[in-house]
Amino acid sequence: MMKSIVSSKYLACLVGSIILNLLFIINIYVGGQWKLSWSLGAAIEAETVAAIYCSGHGRAYLDGLVVVGNKPICDCNTCFTGPDCSQFIPHCTANADGFTSNKRSLDPEYLTARTLPSDQLRDPPHLASSALVVAGWHQMSYTYGGKSFFSKELAKVVRKVHASVGNAVTQNRFIIFGAGSTQVLSAAVFALSPENTSSPAKVVTSVPYYPLDKQQTQYFSSQKFKYEGDAYRWKNRSDCSSTNMIEIVTSPNNPDGQLKKAIFHGANVKTIYDHAYYWPHFTPIPAPSDEDVMVFTLSKLTGHAGTRLGWAVIKDETVFNRMMMHMRMNSMGVSKDAQLRAFKLLNAVLEEGTGIFDFAYQTMKSRWERLVQTVSLSNRFSLQENNPQYCTFYNKVRQLSPAYAWLKCEREEDKDCYAVLEAGNIIGRQGNLFGAEDGYVRLSLVRTQDDFDILIERLHKLITEEDGDKTM
């Protein structure tokens, strides 16, 4: 009897142990094929760093700063500090701009895209589909299969994403990649410039414009092209009918989020459509865009600005070949690690169906609701109109939900709107950088939730103190 009890206990233990083994086997051999070997150490390392606690106000990174020992420290959001980012810095400035240095006017777009789809990619259910494991010997050569700098598989996924969103025609079009839309835009300007000419092509943008277009064109200006300022200034001028013109159209526009159209048309005109923000989280999609040169970027789609991966969809083969030459001369192609990351992330976007766009749109919508509600209490400030349009992606009429607020200071005495906000502890970006008046300031709404919350709080304080100011 005793023995029988003992052996049945053994049996129970054995069965338990075997079940445990089976669980381990399932865990290790998922897919029925594989036992981790070379990737295990790196996987443990990555998960260990990912699990470092930063109170929801920061993140630790594999290549993050190491202060003592080997463990990277938390990289805290603005206004948070401490080893685990748990301490709020009471009177800190709301950052609705990006880079805060003395040279701000030269620094575009830093840090703007830390949220949106990215936030969803951080959530556990999406973490797995967006994770990436790279072997030491992965894609070491300059080209794919000795042929091209650019991954054919990545181009396939890009086409699928456009098809699923319906924001661009990609059939019978060429696709080229670059280090963010920044490098792609520059490649397009070089490629569209006349090859042998005595007078450089005039590059124009209509006010308010994206500052980098101006800065970059001026920086690279040569006998091939020259930046010539606001497009409206050249409209209807007879000396333009025979000059080579290149118009860069940012649509939706940065800073004001409006869907913009080209001003110039004709045989001597080339147009580059910067569609960085032409995704359902920022704008209704009235129809798939079908322009000659359309530029997109991962940073405004999934939020991965640091990956530096942009692309152009191009109709004309000669333009495509010239852009290829630019990419070779400039940087011998584009990082294959960036291409692999984009491949993985865009596949994760596709797997989610409309999920990532829904999440991002809801985030932008609710941020706009809070912003509009806050500013509606003010007589001092106003926002751009985000008029509704029909969106083919959502099959309904909906408002724009731009990445930036284009805030106007309405009072006569508030000519320097940037200074007004700065006094209220808010850093935006001056209107004059966009070719507009300084009565305007651009506020970024695509930073971390922490940044947005602090922005609303500071704006609210400014607005509730308005009447007090007036009577003083």
Binding positions for a copy of itself, 124-183, rule CB under 8 A = 124, 126-146, 151-154, 178-180, 182-183
Closest CB 140 distance from a copy of itself, rounded Å: 5
Closest CB 76 distance from a copy of itself, rounded Å: 8
Tokens 């999406």, residue? 126
Are 207 and 233 in contact by the 8 Å Cβ rule? The answer is no
Distance CA 441, CA 120 (A): 29
Binding positions for a copy of itself, 254-313, rule CB under 8 A = 299, 303-309
**Which residue of 230, 292, 316, 337 would you call a contact of a copy of itself, by CB under 8 A?**
337
Are 324 and 316 in contact by the 8 Å Cβ rule? The answer is no
Q: Does 314 bind a copy of itself (CB under 8 A)?
A: no
In the stretch 353-392, what mask flags binding to a copy of itself with x, by CB under 8 A?
----------------------------------------
Q: Does 423 bind a copy of itself (CB under 8 A)?
A: no
- Residue 134 or 350: which CB sits closer to a copy of itself? 134
Buried residues in 10-41 as b, exposed as e (16+ CB within 10 A): eeeeeeeeeeeeeeeeeeeeeeeeeeeeeeee
Are 300 and 153 in contact by the 8 Å Cβ rule? The answer is no
Binding positions for a copy of itself, 191-220, rule CB under 8 A = 212, 215-216, 219-220
Closest CB 6 distance from a copy of itself, rounded Å: 6
**Which residue of 79, 80, 85, 109 would you call a contact of a copy of itself, by CB under 8 A?**
109
**CB atoms near residue 414 (< 10 Å):** 16
Instruction: Give the CB-side neighbour count of residue 32, counting CA atoms within 13 A.
Output: 0
Binding positions for a copy of itself, 8-37, rule CB under 8 A = 10-11, 13-14, 17-18, 20-21, 24-25, 27-28, 30-31, 33-34, 36-37
Closest CB 251 distance from a copy of itself, rounded Å: 20
Whether omega before 83 lies within 30 degrees of 0, making that bond cis, reads no
DSSP state letters, 19-36: HHHHHHHHHHTGGGT---
Are 446 and 257 in contact by the 8 Å Cβ rule? The answer is no
In the stretch 36-75, what mask flags binding to a copy of itself with x, by CB under 8 A?
xxxxxxxxxxxxx-xx-------x-xxxxxx--------x
Closest CB 15 distance from a copy of itself, rounded Å: 9
- The angle subtended at Cα 419 by Cα 413 and Cα 422, nearest 5°, is 135
Binding positions for a copy of itself, 80-99, rule CB under 8 A = 98-99
Distance CA 276, CA 298 (A): 8
Closest CB 4 distance from a copy of itself, rounded Å: 7
Closest CB 410 distance from a copy of itself, rounded Å: 32
